[in-house]
Amino acid sequence: MKTIGIIGGMSWESSLEYYRLLNEGVKARLGGLHSAKLLMDSLDFHPIEVLQHQGDWETLGGILASSAVRLETAGADLILLATNTMHKVAPEIERSVRIPLIHIADAAASAIKALRIEKVGLLGTKFTMEQDFYRERLASHGIETVIPGPDDREIVHHVIYNELCLGKIEDASRNEFLRIIDKLVQAGAGGVVLGCTEIPLLVHQEHVDIPIFDTTKLHVEAALDFALQE
């Protein structure tokens, strides 16, 4: 079993899910008392969130690259960046280490293609929805994306940072997300990517009739495929 290095803390709410899912996944695959070999560098999210909203991605890239180096030095065999938004600086991380980074959008794309879906809705932070880095990564797999309108993007962004990242799960916010998903379906989406690792805390497959792609779970499965390969 290879050692998985996790860059976490963004937020710790979703990093907790990564830890749980990775260990449950190893137990399901190997049985017995097996658990995942993990290293986690859990960062303080507050200064990162400030830099995100200041648009200082260069500094953020340096912070996360340094985290990846610490994990590699400690013995990690691969890197798992436990957040969608910060994959904007994935190239900086990849340049800083010799071990592979498992890209979260690639994991989502594999699941989308398996269902032969060509157009998906994308929910996430405003950075993920509005900037090119995530949509272009999906496009490289032949997948078209549609995003909510400006007002709905504000709602999604607000709920992520002011509720989900603080561990607050509100029924009213879930209803808003379901309304937004309905509009994405009307715009031609055959499925919806939950492109923020906190959104699966709020929206589950049972809440909608079309496929949803839980990027946290898909990312974990991709990491386990790599870590447990012969």
User: 124 and 194: one domain?
Assistant: yes
Q: Supply the DSSP symbol for 190.
A: S
Q: 224 with 22: CB under 8 angstroms?
A: yes
- Do 118 and 176 sit in the same domain of this protein? yes
- pLDDT at position 69 over 70: yes
CATH value at residue 41: 3.40.50.1860
Sign of the CA dihedral with 95 first, then 99, 93, and 131 last: positive
Question: Are residues 138 and 42 part of one domain?
Answer: no
In this structure, are residues 143 and 211 in contact, taking their beta carbons and an 8 Å threshold? no
- The reply to whether 43 and 109 lie within a common domain is no
Let me know whether 86 and 108 are in one domain: no
Catalytic residues: 83, 196
Statement: the pTM of the whole predicted model exceeds 0.75: yes
Given a cut of 80, whether residue 230 has pLDDT beyond it is no
Count of structural domains, the chain: 2
Which pLDDT tens digit goes with each residue over 19-52? Answer: 999 999 999 999 999 999 999 999 999 999 999 9
| In a shared domain, residues 85 and 117 | no
**C-alpha dihedral, 121 to 157 to 56 to 12, nearest 10°:** -100
- Give the residue numbers spanning the domain of 93: 4-103+218-227
Tell how many helices (H) and how many strands (E) occur in the chain. Answer: 10, 7
Element (H, E) at 134: helix 132-139
> Are 29 and 123 contained in the same domain?
no
- The residue type of 108 is A
